[in-house]
Structures are given as structure tokens and as C-alpha cells.
Amino acid sequence: MTENPKRAFGMKKVLMSVIPLTVLSELALAMLEGALKYARHNYRAVGSIRASDYYDATRRHLDRWWEGEDLDPDSRLSHVTKAIASLVVLRDAMIVGTFEDDRPPRPPKGWYDELDKLSAALIEKYPEPKAPITELGLHPAGAGPVKELEQRAAQAVVSERSKS
């Protein structure tokens, strides 16, 4: 049986099938929101796309997600998806030549490498770190921070009642 020549030729091209359609579909919704608010493909017509504007937007979405706000309150889409949309517009501007590079001057060469070495030294110095306190409630004593706060609040109420 011979191999289909279309397959042999097509395998050398960009394989769109490697992109998860779940994420791509959410991205389409985020881009639709932008198209409805600002006009479809407005980012290609506005002149230049300033790096700082899209860096800031990406960070706002990622920081809100990191701090536990999963969904953007306006669109009800994931903050991660909204960050991806910001990066898509930024990258598009870089590709089509409308990118305005207003990033700050670069730090000295090797700066981040030195920080990585300091981080590695700290990790080596503390080979058995304390367990993290997370939204899941992981805590060295087994009680999550939310549970701990609830217990403190309940104790304060009991204490306040006993005074009266």
C-alpha cells in the first residue's frame, strides 16, 4: 500500500491540528468581544500597537487569575483566555509591523542568570521548605487559612458573648 502523496506533502506544512480547539474556541470568543467593542481587526487599523498597553492588559488578567478571580467579570471568560487574546494581538502587531516597542531599557546582561543562581542557592539552603498555604487550604498544620480565619472569628464571637 502506497502512502497518500497529499499526506506526505501536507505533513511538512504547519499542522493546525496540534492546537487544542477548546482553547482556540475560547480565544475566538475573547476576540469576538473585542470585535464587538472596538470593531473587528481594529488592532490592524489603529496604527501602532504599543507593547506596554498589551503587556499591562496581559498582566492585569494573569494577576487577577493568580489572585483567585477565575473569570473576567465583564465577559465571564477566563482571565487566562483574555490574557491569551492580549498576547495574540501583540504578536500579530509584531508580525505585521505595527508593533511599537516602548519596553524599558534592558537590564545588564546576565542579570536574570544571577537571580536564578541566588534562587538555586536559597533552594539548596532550605531543602525541606514549609508546605505552601494555598487556595486549596494546604497548610503545615493541616488546617487551611480560610478554616483558620473562620475558627478565629468564631472564637472572637464566643469571647465577645462571654463578656456580656
Report in angstroms the alpha-carbon separations of 139 from 18, 100, 149.
38, 45, 13
User: What is the pTM assigned to this prediction?
Assistant: 0.75
Note the pLDDT of residue 67: 95
Burial class from Cβ neighbours inside 10 Å (0-12, 13-18, 19+) for residue 43 reads buried
Give me the chain's average pLDDT, please. Answer: 87
Report residue 27 as a C-alpha cell.
Answer: 480565544
pLDDT tens by residue, 54-108: 999 999 999 999 999 999 999 999 999 999 999 999 999 999 999 999 999 999 9
Within 10 angstroms of residue 30's Cβ, the number of other Cβ atoms is 21
Mean pLDDT over 33-42 rounds to 96
Contact between 115 and 109 (Cβ < 8 Å)? no
Comparing 6-10, 64-68, 152-156, which segment has the lowest mean pLDDT? 152-156
CA 115/CA 125 separation, integer angstroms: 15
pLDDT tens by residue, 125-143: 999 988 888 888 765 554 5
